[in-house]
Amino acid sequence: MSGQENVSSVYSGAGDTSDRQTIVVKLGTSVLTGGSKKIDRAHLVELVRQCAMLIRQGHRVIVVTSGAIAAGREHLNYPELATTIANKQMLAAVGQSRLIQEWESMFAIYGINIGQMLLTRADLDDRERYLNARDMLQALLANNIVPVVNENDAVATAEIKVGDNDNLSALVAILAEADKLLLLTDQPGLFTADPRSNPDAELIREVHTIDETLHKLAGGSVSGLGTGGMATKLQAADVARRAGIEVTIAAGSRPEVIQHLVDGKEAGTRFLPLESPLESRKRWILAGPPPAGNIIIDDGAAKAVVERHSSLLSKGITGVEGHFDRGSVARICNQKGKQLARGICRYSSKDLSAIAGRHSQDIQDILGYAHGAVAVHCDDLVVID
Ligand SMILES: Nc1ncnc2c1ncn2[C@@H]1O[C@H](COP(=O)(O)OP(=O)(O)O)[C@@H](O)[C@H]1O
Ligand SMILES: N[C@@H](CCC(=O)OP(=O)(O)O)C(=O)O
């Protein structure tokens, strides 16, 4: 039987597609190894079975898989290596091909094809490359192929890395315009403190706002397996929920965890999405390049941007930090340095500094050219609450 026939046999029984959801399932190294030094193949099969069940119900599933470095170590029989970037990349190169073979053979049990997507931050920073990646992802989904995504660790250097798969999965969820992002890990969710060192810590069940207090509860990874711990999961949840995506952190080892989370039965820590999700261009402002600098604005401009969702005019700018070109994404901050918004700048940092606090009629005289008094147009601006 060809792969295509296999796929249709799985999908022909698909349920009512009117309530089809696109679900990103992120599996941390901690889940894939079950806390050991090896990929736990028995558990991987079980997770694939759960994904296949969702697909049978008509949902679309994207897997974001960690574990390449762990798989590389295992395949090379745990070599004693210096902790250099080149050695890490080597482990990832060896491990990624092992890992993808595992995913492929396990999804094949259910007649489902997969497509490997290895991304770096550079694939998402540039709007054109971002749109290309989006088209590719949509093409896989439209053809009933499960995208299996990881960071391209073998080639990515620090400057072009997302750096952890929690943030990567949020970017992928935005790219796919997903409904849900499931961050599966070795803990039942986000606790009031790291439960490994604080046995009295309590599970937080539902989160409406992600603020500094919450960020302080989320620690790093101490197991030596994962990257980023709860801190990066919280960053990921923050980005995805702004794009209207519901995020849950839960234990990947719980029986039927994926199905239960989709049905709203499983506990975990659920982050409610913002009610009015952003349109595509604004999603990119969040998911795309890290801000290249800061634009400091006065209180009047802050009110206009945050409350009235107006464009940012040169008149309201009091300072510019960093060096960036026209078209870059920058943070828009108040006088205390608090980030209020992010947006695409119509002027470079140099020109913005020159026209800060000035009216539109002055701009031509100062710069010798003028694009108008709008420094960041409201269509290119995302308010961060
Ligand atoms: N507040 C917290 N609640 C739950 N876990 C926490 C918290 N702070 C830190 N952690 C740690 O985060 C770890 C999970 O993240 P990580 O090791 O990166 O796993 P993964 O491989 O699944 O991404 C847990 O094992 C736990 O020790
Ligand atoms: N890309 C790396 C995993 C990076 C990562 O974020 O790991 P984890 O915290 O276990 O999700 C790998 O495949 O080994």
What lies within 8 Å, CB to CB, of 223 at 6+ separation is: 30, 35, 186, 196
If you average pLDDT over residues 264-273, what whole number do you get?
90
Q: 186 labelled as ligand-binding?
A: yes
**pLDDT tens by residue, 351-363:** 999 999 998 888 8
Q: CB neighbours (10 Å) of residue 205? A: 12
- In the predicted model, what is the mean pLDDT of the chain? 90
**Residue 119: phi, psi to the nearest 5?**
-115, 160
Ligand 1 pocket check: which of 25, 30, 214, 253 to mutate, most ligand atoms within 8 Å of Cβ? 30
The complex's ipTM works out to: 0.99
**pLDDT tens by residue, 213-261:** 999 999 999 888 889 999 999 999 998 998 889 999 999 999 999 999 9
Indicate the angle between helix axes 85-108 and 41-56, nearest 10 degrees.
Answer: 50
The pTM score is: 0.83
Nearest to 253 by CA among 201, 204, 185, 205: 185
Neighbour-count burial of 141, counting CB atoms closer than 10 A to its CB (0-12 exposed, 13-18 middle, 19+ buried): middle
Nearest ligand (C-alpha, residue 68): 2
Question: Where is pLDDT greater, at 89 or 360?
Answer: 89
Q: 117 labelled as ligand-binding?
A: no
User: Distance of alpha carbon 158 from its chain centroid, rounded?
Assistant: 17
The finding on whether 238 has its CB within 6 A of some atom of ligand 2 is: no
Atom of ligand 2 nearest to the CA of 221: 9
| Joined tokens for residue 165 | 């798969």
pLDDT at res. 224:
82
pLDDT at res. 126:
78
What lies within 8 Å, CB to CB, of 99 at 6+ separation is: 39, 65, 67, 68, 71, 150
The finding on whether 28 has its CB within 6 A of some atom of ligand 2 is: yes
Query: What is the percentage of the chain residues whose pLDDT exceeds 70?
Result: 94
pLDDT at res. 282:
85
In this prediction, residue 8 has a pLDDT band, given cuts at 50, 70 and 90, of very low
**pLDDT tens by residue, 100-156:** 999 999 999 999 999 999 999 888 887 788 889 999 999 999 999 999 999 999 988
For residue 316, the CA-to-ligand 2 centroid distance in Å is 42
pLDDT at res. 18:
61
| Pairing assessment for the beta strands 339-344 and 381-383 based on DSSP bridges | antiparallel
Q: Which domains, ranges and CATH numbers included, belong to the chain?
A: 3-282 (3.40.1160.10), 291-383 (2.30.130.10)
Q: CB neighbours (10 Å) of residue 248? A: 22
In this prediction, residue 164 has a pLDDT band, given cuts at 50, 70 and 90, of very high
In this prediction, residue 15 has a pLDDT band, given cuts at 50, 70 and 90, of very low
For residue 122, the CA-to-ligand 1 centroid distance in Å is 27
pLDDT at 341 > cutoff 50: yes
Atom of ligand 1 nearest to the CA of 30: 21
pLDDT at 6 > cutoff 70: no
Nearest ligand (C-alpha, residue 218): 1
